[in-house]
Amino acid sequence: GAVVSQHPSWVICKSGTSVKIECRSLDFQATTMFWYRQFPKQSLMLMATSNEGSKATYEQGVEKDKFLINHASLTLSTLTVTSAHPEDSSFYICSALAGTDYGYTFGSGTRLTVV
C-alpha cells in the first residue's frame, strides 16, 4: 500500500528557533500534499495545500511566513515552523492522495514541543 513517511516523529525545540518537518511519499508520486495541525482530542485542521513546483496554498488564518512549505519534488514536502513559540506546540500531520484505491494516506505525525 501507499506509504507516507514523516520525520521527525517528535521534536523539542527552544523558543525562537526553527524546526523542519519532512514528509515523503515512499512508493508513489504526490503532486499534492496536505499539512494538518491537530490539538489534543480534536480533529485535524488543514493548514495548507502543498503543490509540487509551485507555492503552497494556505488556509485562512494560517501565517504563511511562519509556516514555510516547500514541495520541491514529487516525493518530498517540508514544513518549517519559523521562530517557534510555545503556542506552536502541536501535532503536525502531512498527507497525500495516493490514487483513488488508497485514498488519503497520512504520515505518522510529528509532535512539536516548544519550550
- From its phi and psi, is residue 97 left (phi > 0), alpha (psi between -120 and 50) or beta? beta
- For position 100 contacting other proteins by CB under 8 A, the verdict is yes
Binding residue for other proteins (CB under 8 A) from 56, 69, 93, 114? 93
Contact between 39 and other proteins by CB under 8 A: the answer reads no
Which of positions 51-90 make contact with other proteins (CB under 8 A)?
Answer: none
The count of chain residues that interact with other proteins, using the rule CB under 8 A, is: 23
In sequence order, the β-bridge partners of residue 38 are 44, 91
Site for other proteins contains 24 (CB under 8 A): no
Give whole-number Cα distances, 16 to 49, 77, 86, 104, in Å. Answer: 25, 23, 9, 33
CB 21 within 8 A of CB 7: yes
Please report, as ranges, the residues that interact with other proteins according to CB under 8 A.
4, 6, 34, 41-44, 46, 49, 91, 93, 95, 97, 100, 102-109, 111
